[in-house]
Amino acid sequence: MNALREVVAIVVFTIAIVLLSNLALKGFDGSLMAATIVCFIVAYIIWPSKRKGTRRDDSNVLDIIEFIIELPVDLFLWLFRLTTRIFRSNDSRLDIDL
């Protein structure tokens, strides 16, 4: 079952990369950007991650693929957390944590 999830996640991630390259080469298109973001998120959700405890094997190749697939979502979450820390203070009511 994990092998099927890995293959599907790799295919969806590859589609996201192709969409991202089309977005960069052909110019901005909102629907293309939305499809790219959805593909990145779907690949992240489908991938059986070691951090989530769904993959137990020790394969260096799968670890590298996992890092690559999780990188876009992790970067977005890191940037989002960074911006919320900038705007968060002890006096304000704005407090966004994930």
Reported as a single tens digit per residue, the pLDDT across 63-98 is 899 999 999 999 999 999 888 877 766 555 655 665
- pTM for this one? 0.78
Q: What is the pLDDT of residue 91?
A: 58
Q: What is the pLDDT of residue 10?
A: 95
Can you give the residue ranges of every domain in the chain? Answer: 2-87
N-terminal to C-terminal alpha carbon distance within the chain: 30
Query: Residue-wise over 53-78: b if at least 16 C-beta within 10 A, else e?
Result: eebeeeeeebeebbeebbebbeeeee
Handedness of CA 59, 62, 66, 68 (dihedral sign): positive
Q: Cα–Cα–Cα angle for 82, 63, 21, nearest 5°?
A: 65
